[in-house]
Chains A and B, each alone.
Chain A
Amino acid sequence: MLKYISKRIFVFIPTLFVISLMAFVISINSPGDPVESLYSGVKEKPGTFNANTSHEKQLLRHRLGLDLPVFYFTIGSLASPDTIYKVFDSNKKNAIERLIDQYGNWNSINAWLKALESITKKINSVAPDSVAYAQQGIEITNQHVDEARQEIYALSVCYEEVVISSKLSKLQKMMAAESSLGNHSPLYFLHKALPSCRQSFEDMKVNSSQWKNWIPCIRFYGYNQYHRWIFGDGNWLTGKGWGNTEGIIRGDFGTSFATKQAVTKTITRAIPWSLFFTIMSVFLAYLISIPIGIRAAEKRGSVFDHGSSVVLFMLYSTAIFFMATLLLLLFANPAVFNIFPANGVKPATGYPDGISLWGKFKITLPYLILPLACYTYSSFAFLSRTMRVSMLEVISQDYIRTAKAKGLSNYLVIYKHALRNALLPIITVFANIFPAAVGGAVIIEVIFGIPGMGQEIFQAISSKDYPMIVCVFSLSGFLTLIGYLVADILYAVVDPRITYSK
């Protein structure tokens, strides 16, 4: 048995790997820049420059590991360098990739980028002197510098030949407009820098080596974002020496964009509620559905059989959110019956002070009944139908006829002989019910305001909080796998024919 369980767990590893890959794909494809989402400082327009913010963002980027390659390998072309992931401005990165796509010669493209970088550095560090201020006025001078800075930034994110040359000539004009200032002009450095820039642009055009784009090239990276995401930035096995993240195998899912807190902190608060409702509902569903299924099968064709199957079928086809709203409409509505509270799991004002655990339970109980009913009904309808069919199949078997012929009481025949075998299919569906319960929780938790995982993922999606989405995604996959494992073990317990000691 132990051997079997460990074998099952071993089979989970590739599944977990694929789930983690899918979660990772979601997280890296998320629209928007995580640094911008997490950065709490002042938002700035592109093109303006603030040395402080830029430095802070760079640090944040490093802390998030975004300065690493994405995966263990990339399939790229020979033309593109293996360090392109280091460019963090997505607009600039796009421009560079397009340039590579157009010209294919990394050396000359690199020269062009270097020229651009030096010109950017110069414009960022430019300090207009007093002569310029005196002649032009402070406002106008600063405005000119800003315009030039924006133009240079625009130059570094564009890639079409026409646009680049028009921008270059625009800079030329700006420079010329200030020629009366002589070397006091803040844009004076362009006299030297612009021709070299233009030269490297021409070089890039002339030295095009398009063919390199046609040759595939696979590059491998040992340390990358995925690796770091899974194993953290310390020792991959022990996790020692980690700085910014421990990796998800040690339960570190990063920082939420919305709350700026560790995702795990929010999730650990949410998980108990979801687990409570899921397990409770599955338990209740089995508790109710087994007797119903047995009775319906026992008295086949009776009023009870027909009635229950119609009701169950209707329950089964009812949308969960319809049922939940209907229940609220009926039982939490002052106009009809106001029996249960409509929202939350405890009074909005919190529990009274100094109350015992039992007292808390008594207060919370009415909050739990409607959600539990919703959680339970869909799986219980499905289970009862399955139970009825499997019971019918078992009852028609020879050994049941033998048992009856032996003169055993109906009760003994059903509960001792038939039930155990009829339970088998109903246990296999446990594996189907569990993920449904975890997933179905989203709607119920949103409607009833239960602070569980479903509520978290709903809010995360509304606020585009990707670390949270990824965390709930991976955890629900993990929980489902555990559900499968439990189903397997239960199967072994119920069916003595299965030994698992192969």
Chain B
Amino acid sequence: MSEEKKSNPEAQHSQERTVDKTVLIKNEEDSAKISGKDFSFRKYAWKQFKKNKPAYFSLYILAFLLVLALLAPILANERPLYMKYQGQTFFPAFSFANNYHIKNSKTGIEENIQLDLVEWKRMNLESVIWAPITWSPGKSDRYNRNYVGPNDPQRFIDRKGDTLYMPARFKHLLGTNESGEDVLAGLIHGGRVSLSIGFLSMGIASILGLFLGALAGYFGDTRLQTTRAKFWMVIIGIPLAWFYAFSFRSFTLKDAMAHSGSSFLLQLIISILVFSLVIFIFSKLGKLFSKGKKLGQFVYVPVDSIISRSIEILNSIPTLILILSLASLAKEESIVYVMVIIGLTSWTGIARFTRAEFLRIRSMDYIQAAQAMGFKESRIIFRHALLNGMAPSLVSIAFGIAGAILIESSLSFLGIGVPKDLVTWGKLLSQGKDNFHAWWLIVFPGIAIFITVTAYNLIGDGLRDALDPKLKR
């Protein structure tokens, strides 16, 4: 068996997160399949994943939610998608202008339509195509205020000013909240917030987690060697780099922040470049000094200890309290800020998984081969090892997205850190908390959160089972 493996280096290489030898030996039939020529671990894992019906089904749910979120402005919009008015055609739902200036060619009457104020449903339109849900989030229907339920009679005032029952086409299918905003429209648009929170915050967290976990696992405490001079030069360089990058440029950064977000980002990137440049110069200087017995002696950088310790510290502060405290520092409430905070505090799980994986990978043959070929460490880590070591952290990322969505909805439920005019699932639910009569405000957003979180959790579960052959049933 082992000979077969040796004779087939290509397969071995493509095995990526290779299956444990013990498992291979245990099951002869499986091993034959696994060590076959066209074996790829990715394919194998995908096959395993597909076998897990709930997880596979969750992928479809997720795709559905994604489509809903992407198409939200078309799916739920009070403005018609298309309309014909006074002989002219308009596409208000896709319009960026806030004003239509309309002149009737026959009567010569001029009319000004303000897109955000006009009551579209009472207009005398010649022909119209409405969005599937004819309400926008955050826009109140003033005839159906004070928690009108899905089954309650809903009022509609027509063009003549008569009060009617709501036509089926315009009905608030899931009711309204206190100020008469449509719940279904809020749910569809709130999904955008939840999904983007999940993706962006976990994007930040995975970059951080993968990077730090890879460094910790690959180098450990005894693998990153450097000369004593270089080590100390870099240590000295850090405060200097800080000075030139941030202290010296503090007013430039402050002014940029006052100006606009993008200019701040630009200045921040410049600062980070300056920081790295100073560190780089100092490390080169250190290389120059690395002569003689004392200065040229090799020392180890305890990368693993530093990173593991910071993971431990970050874990020892309750996440929600940490995020709440950080969110309280924000001068203005912004969803981007919430994303960044969640991202910066939730990388530890991913880092731990990646670290464990790298501890295993670093002693594998192909890494040693790469080292023997004289590749740079950075190339080995990021081009050879990282892709192979990413698989287990996928599990953590999937669970992390679920967690991020829960945290964001908790924050908006509590009303902390999330801007007031943004409609989110948590906020809808918190409106229901004040009035139990309005059960639709509790049940529907709650179910939306539940479905999304469950889908991610199921995917995480499925990934774990698929990627870890030891747990195979």
Which A positions have Cβ atoms within 8 angstroms of B?
Answer: 14-15, 18-19, 22, 26, 29-31, 75-77, 97-98, 101, 213-214, 216, 218, 313-314, 316-322, 325-326, 328-329, 333, 335, 389, 435-436, 438-440, 442-443, 446-447, 457-458, 460-462, 464, 466, 469-470, 472-473, 476-477, 480-481, 484
Chain A min CB distance to B311 (Å): 11
Known: A216-B248, A218-B239, A438-B318. 16 other contacts (CB 8 A): A14-B309, A26-B326, A76-B247, A313-B458, A317-B402, A319-B449, A319-B453, A320-B406, A321-B409, A326-B443, A328-B436, A329-B436, A442-B410, A446-B414, A458-B414, A476-B317
B413 cross-chain contacts in A, Cβ below 8 A? 321, 443
| Complex CA distance for A480 and B457, rounded to whole angstroms | 26
The 7 A-B pairs with the shortest beta carbon distances in the complex, nearest first, are: A439-B318, A322-B446, A439-B320, A216-B243, A317-B454, A435-B318, A461-B328
Given A26, A213, A440, which contacts B325 in the complex, CB threshold below 8 Å? A26
| B382: Cβ under 8 A from any A Cβ | no
> Can you list 9 residue pairs at the A/B interface with Cβ under 8 Å?
A77-B243, A314-B454, A316-B457, A317-B402, A322-B442, A325-B442, A329-B439, A477-B318, A484-B316
| Complex CA distance for A108 and B446, rounded to whole angstroms | 64
Total A-B pairs in contact (CB under 8 Å)? 154
A31 cross-chain contacts in B, Cβ below 8 A? 329, 331
Instruction: Determine whether the beta carbon of B414 is less than 8 Å from that of A325.
Output: no
Given A22, A316, A320, A460, which contacts B410 in the complex, CB threshold below 8 Å? A320
Chain A min CB distance to B463 (Å): 15
A458 cross-chain contacts in B, Cβ below 8 A? 324, 414, 416
| B315: Cβ under 8 A from any A Cβ | yes
| Complex CA distance for A335 and B442, rounded to whole angstroms | 15
Instruction: Determine whether the beta carbon of A480 is less than 8 Å from that of B453.
Output: no
| Complex CA distance for A109 and B461, rounded to whole angstroms | 65
Chain A min CB distance to B319 (Å): 6
| B433: Cβ under 8 A from any A Cβ | yes
Instruction: Determine whether the beta carbon of A213 is less than 8 Å from that of B248.
Output: yes
A77 cross-chain contacts in B, Cβ below 8 A? 243, 247-248
Q: Give residues 322-343 of B contacting A (CB, 8 Å).
A: 322, 324-329, 331
| Complex CA distance for A473 and B413, rounded to whole angstroms | 20
Instruction: Determine whether the beta carbon of B324 is less than 8 Å from that of A442.
Output: yes
Interface size class of B (residues with CB under 8 A): 35 or more
Instruction: Determine whether the beta carbon of B454 is less than 8 Å from that of A473.
Output: no
| Complex CA distance for A319 and B247, rounded to whole angstroms | 43
Chain B min CB distance to A147 (Å): 28
Q: A30-B329, A443-B410 are in contact. Are A317 and B457 (CB under 8 A)?
A: yes
A214 cross-chain contacts in B, Cβ below 8 A? 248
Instruction: Determine whether the beta carbon of A473 is less than 8 Å from that of B321.
Output: yes
Instruction: Determine whether the beta carbon of A438 is less than 8 Å from that of B450.
Output: no
B44 cross-chain contacts in A, Cβ below 8 A? none
Chain A min CB distance to B400 (Å): 14
B242, B328, B402: residue with the most chain A Cβ atoms closer than 10 Å: B328
Instruction: Determine whether the beta carbon of B317 is less than 8 Å from that of A19.
Output: yes
B37 cross-chain contacts in A, Cβ below 8 A? none
A442 cross-chain contacts in B, Cβ below 8 A? 320-321, 324, 410, 414
Q: A101-B251, A435-B316 are in contact. Are A469 and B328 (CB under 8 A)?
A: yes
| Complex CA distance for A316 and B439, rounded to whole angstroms | 22
Instruction: Determine whether the beta carbon of B312 is less than 8 Å from that of A15.
Output: yes
B437 cross-chain contacts in A, Cβ below 8 A? 335
Given B331, B446, B454, B457, which contacts A326 in the complex, CB threshold below 8 Å? B446
| B313: Cβ under 8 A from any A Cβ | yes
Task: Output the nearest chain A residue to B327 by Cβ-Cβ distance.
Answer: A461
A15, A75, A317, A462: residue with the most chain B Cβ atoms closer than 10 Å: A317
B324 cross-chain contacts in A, Cβ below 8 A? 442, 457-458, 461, 469
A469 cross-chain contacts in B, Cβ below 8 A? 324-325, 328
A389 cross-chain contacts in B, Cβ below 8 A? 471
Q: A31-B331, A319-B450, A322-B429 are in contact. Are A440 and B240 (CB under 8 A)?
A: no
| Complex CA distance for A477 and B453, rounded to whole angstroms | 27
| Complex CA distance for A460 and B324, rounded to whole angstroms | 10
| Complex CA distance for A330 and B58, rounded to whole angstroms | 29
Chain A min CB distance to B127 (Å): 43
Q: A328-B436, A435-B319 are in contact. Are A29 and B248 (CB under 8 A)?
A: no
A29, A333, A439: residue with the most chain B Cβ atoms closer than 10 Å: A439
| B190: Cβ under 8 A from any A Cβ | no
A-contact 0/1 string along B245-275, CB 8 Å cutoff: 0011001000000000000000000000000
| B389: Cβ under 8 A from any A Cβ | no
Q: Give residues 203-237 of B contacting A (CB, 8 Å).
A: none
Task: Output the nearest chain A residue to B449 by Cβ-Cβ distance.
Answer: A319
Chain A min CB distance to B340 (Å): 15
| B149: Cβ under 8 A from any A Cβ | no
Task: Output the nearest chain B residue to A19 by Cβ-Cβ distance.
Answer: B317
| B432: Cβ under 8 A from any A Cβ | yes
Instruction: Determine whether the beta carbon of A29 is less than 8 Å from that of B329.
Output: yes
Task: Output the nearest chain B residue to A317 by Cβ-Cβ distance.
Answer: B454
Instruction: Determine whether the beta carbon of A22 is less than 8 Å from that of B317.
Output: yes
| B426: Cβ under 8 A from any A Cβ | yes
| Complex CA distance for A91 and B52, rounded to whole angstroms | 62
